[in-house]
């Protein structure tokens, strides 16, 4: 992965970033697949270090997964409801 300098980072459109702060600050760059994967691990490291909140970590990961074409994780309650519906149909 190429190094992203301040000049090239500033030239990138805001839509290629996730997790930025207020006033249009840029967070994690996700212009291509390798940077989107790096944003997922970077968000985890930033949360573990105490630099971002859990909700910010999850939103960065969700946006990166969407960019990569990965379906969002199914919540436990959604999974339970789906399995209950399936079980009832088998009776």
Q: What is the pLDDT of residues 3-43, one digit of tens each?
A: 778 898 888 888 888 887 666 678 888 888 899 999 999 99
Residue 28: its H or E element = strand 28-29
Predicted pLDDT at 44:
93
Domain positions in the chain are: 15-89
List residues bridging with 17 in a β-sheet: 29
The Cα–Cα gap between 47 and 50 comes to 5
Mean pLDDT of 68-88: 81
Predicted pLDDT at 85:
86
Q: Which residues of 25-63 are buried (b: 16+ CB within 10 A; e: fewer)?
A: ebbbbbbeeebbbbbbebbeebbeeeebeeebbebbbbb
Q: 82: pLDDT confidence band, cut at 50, 70 and 90?
A: confident
Q: What is the pLDDT of residues 42-70, one digit of tens each?
A: 999 999 999 999 999 988 998 898 888 88
């Amino acid at each position: 992965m190429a190094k992203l300098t301040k000049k090239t980072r500033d030239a990138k459109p805001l839509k290629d970033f996730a997790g930025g702060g207020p006033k249009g600050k840029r967070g994690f760059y996700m212009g291509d697949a390798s940077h989107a994967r790096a944003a997922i691990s970077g968000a985890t490291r930033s949360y573990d270090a105490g630099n971002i909140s859990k909700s910010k970590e999850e939103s960065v990961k969700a946006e990166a997964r969407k960019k990569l074409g990965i379906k969002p994780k199914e919540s436990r309650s959604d999974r339970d409801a789906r399995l209950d519906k399936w079980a009832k149909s088998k009776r």
